[in-house]
Chain A
Amino acid sequence: MATHEVTFPITDPAEIQKLRAGDEVVVQGHIIGIRDRTQVRIFDQGVEPPMDLSGAFLLHTAPGVRKLGPGRYEKVCIGTTTSARMVRFTEPLGAQYGVRAICGKGGFPDEAIEPMQRLGMVYFAIVGGAAALETTQIEEIEEVAWEELMPECLWKFRVKDFGPLTVGIDAHGGSLYRDVQERARKKLEEIYARL
């Protein structure tokens, strides 16, 4: 299991190809915060997002913030939410907007594996609940769009040493979640046989 440092947004798709499920990753640059209602607005209501998502790293979040002035916010506590609720947006995010990485907690179900492989995307697992640490790695909230969806807006954060993240699903068809579930199901059969 290798360790990588990747800066987002990426311009070279090879950056994604070198990541393998289980690898450790630390992220630099800019990441975009997105959540349930944000994606419902883009895909179910057909509203174009007012931010460039090509090569982007999306974070499943709804940050706790303090308002400083019109469109300006400072961080209070920023953490990550459960990804599985938003799995259906994976394919269109990659195909229509060129998103390259989705980061959240708890993993994506197996339906994300094929589109991620086809479109050259990865899923990064963050440690859910570790928001105090995550907040220190977010240097600044640079932009906010769709404030009326607060806190489920579209957020642009500048980050430094964001992580450690684990590659949960890679662009080669690998998924730690699928492997763990397969092993656990086999184990359950064994346990049930001796109950």
Chain B
Amino acid sequence: MSVTTTTSLDGAVESAAAHLYVWALKDIPQDLRDALARAAETETSVPGQRVLQTILRNVNVAEEEKNLVCQDTGIAVYYCRVGEHFPLHPARIYAALKEGTERATIEHPLRSNTVHTLTRENTGQNVGYRVPIVHWDFISDWDGLDVKCVPKGSGSENMSFLKMCVPADGVRGIKEFVLDSIVGAGGKPCPPGIVGVGIGGSADYAMHLAKEAIARPVGTRNEDPLVAELEEDLYGLLNETGIGPMGLGGDVTVLSVHVEHADTHMTLNPVAVNYQCWAARRASAHVAADGTIDYERDA
């Protein structure tokens, strides 16, 4: 690996991160636009309809004004799929993602949300100790890098819930906990959004899976038919609750429910809920081994 290649790859990943962060904040994916339009066709409550029309108008205004869809620039979260032959070590990829996040924040400028968790002092540029948050997958027999940026707003992230159900609670326990969580959250997480549910694994991994679930395109179904059935069931049940757009009452409480699962211990039945507001921002890029970047908003 030559130094030149590595330096340009650092730069490519940094540029990708800077571009993805701003792009995700301004231009929401088509699957989400379609889901919001369908919600507006379905909604029968007056305040609910008012909210959905305002949301659709806002998405267009963001485009016309080249402004952010939502002011909450979030906490920067990246999902990386790294090929085993990608010529930049993950430690360097992390540094480049951090640089890119900071650069986008300064150049745009974006509101910086990142603070020290005890002193609450703002670190200034949306980066800090262990921020951005980066999740890793490693892919064999491949030399590329996929980066997905999912800026996560606090209104919806604050509506995250974990319950260590017992095995005897079964699927019923999972459903009750998700329903209770979403009704309890009411209008706070900016409904109608995507409900991410992580089941199985361990406590921490269940929440990780719930977060991964919200980063999927709206309405995609889990490959496991049993899990997909749970997604459909929960979607129907949650939309019976009447919480409605922005919690003001109505037919559309959620746009979709995504469930990710892992096998677990025989005495565990963890359920994690991670909410994604209607402004479900995400943008992706593929960085090739030679530093070429391909952007893909809808991935």
Binding site for B on A (CB under 8 A): 1, 22, 24, 37, 61-66, 76-82, 84, 105-107, 125, 127-136, 150-151, 164, 166, 168, 176-177, 179-181, 183-185, 187-188, 191-192, 195
CB <8 Å contact, B111 and A82: no
- B155 (CB) vs chain A CBs: closest residue: A82
Q: Per DSSP, are chain A's interface residues mostly helix, strand or loop, or mixed?
A: mixed
Is B47's CB under 8 angstroms from A107's CB? no
| In the complex, chain B residues whose CB is within 8 Å of the CB of A166 | 47, 50-51, 246, 248
* Least CB distance, B92 to chain A, in whole angstroms: 30
6 contacts between A and B (CB under 8 A): A37-B120, A106-B186, A129-B278, A133-B54, A166-B51, A179-B249
Q: Tell me which of A62, A135, A168 contacts B248 (CB under 8 A).
A: A168
Cβ of A129 and Cβ of B111 under 8 Å apart?
no
Nearest-neighbour CB distance to chain B for A7, whole angstroms, equals 21
* Chain B residues in 8 Å Cβ range of A176: 47, 248-249
Task: Using known A-B contacts A132-B67, A180-B247, A188-B180, determine if residue A64 contacts B186 with beta carbons closer than 8 Å.
Answer: no
- Whether the pair B58, A188 counts as a contact (CB closer than 8 A) is no
Contacts of B109 in A (CB 8 A): 64, 66, 76
Tell me whether B259 is interfacial, beta carbon within 8 Å: no
Expressed in whole angstroms, the Cα–Cα distance for A132 and B60 within the complex equals 9
Q: Confirm or deny: B110 has a beta carbon within 8 angstroms of a beta carbon on chain A.
A: yes
Q: Once the chains bind, are B50 and A24 in contact (CB under 8 Å)? A: yes
Q: Is B187 a contact partner of A127 (Cβ separation < 8 A)?
A: no
A36 to chain B, nearest CB (A): 9
Docked-complex contact A79 and B72, CB < 8 angstroms: yes
* Residue among A1, A131, A150 making CB contact with B71, cutoff 8 Å: A131
A82-B158, A192-B176 known; A63+B248 contact, CB < 8 A: no
The total number of A-B Cβ pairs within 8 Å is 164
A133-B61, A164-B50, A192-B176 known; A106+B246 contact, CB < 8 A: yes
User: Whose C-beta in chain B lies nearest to the C-beta of A63?
Assistant: B71
- Cα of A107 to Cα of B240 in the assembled complex, Å: 20
Question: How far is A177 from B248 in the complex, measured between Cα atoms in Å?
Answer: 6
Complex CA distance for A183 and B73, rounded to whole angstroms: 34
* A131 x B68 contact (CB < 8 A): yes
Other A-B contacts than A64-B110, A106-B186, A132-B67, 10 sampled, CB-CB below 8 A, are A82-B155, A84-B188, A129-B279, A130-B70, A132-B61, A133-B58, A135-B65, A176-B249, A181-B183, A191-B241
Q: Contact between A129 and B175 (Cβ–Cβ < 8 Å)? A: no
Query: How far is the CB of B116 from the nearest CB of chain A, in Å?
Result: 14
- Docked-complex contact A81 and B51, CB < 8 angstroms: no
B68 touches A106 (CB 8 A): no
Determine the distance from Cα of A37 to Cα of B46 in the docked complex, in whole angstroms.
35
A132 touches B65 (CB 8 A): yes
In the complex, the chain A residue whose C-beta lies closest to that of B176 is A192
Query: Assuming A64-B71, A129-B58, A131-B70, is B242 touching A180 (CB within 8 A)?
Result: yes
Is B130 an interface residue, CB under 8 A from the partner? no
Residues of B within 8 A of A185 (CB): 183
**In this assembly, does B150 line the interface, its C-beta being within 8 Å of a C-beta of chain A?**
no
Pick the 5 closest A-B CB pairs, nearest first: A79-B71, A132-B62, A64-B111, A130-B58, A106-B188
The answer to whether B189 touches A106 (Cβ under 8 A) is yes
Instruction: Determine if B241 and A184 form an interchain contact, defined as CB atoms under 8 angstroms apart.
Output: yes
Question: In angstroms, how far is the closest chain B Cβ from the Cβ of A91?
Answer: 21
Residues of A close to B187: CB separation below 8 A:
105-107, 125, 128, 177
In the complex, B82 has a CB within 8 A of chain A:
no
B131 interfacial contact with A, CB 8 Å: no
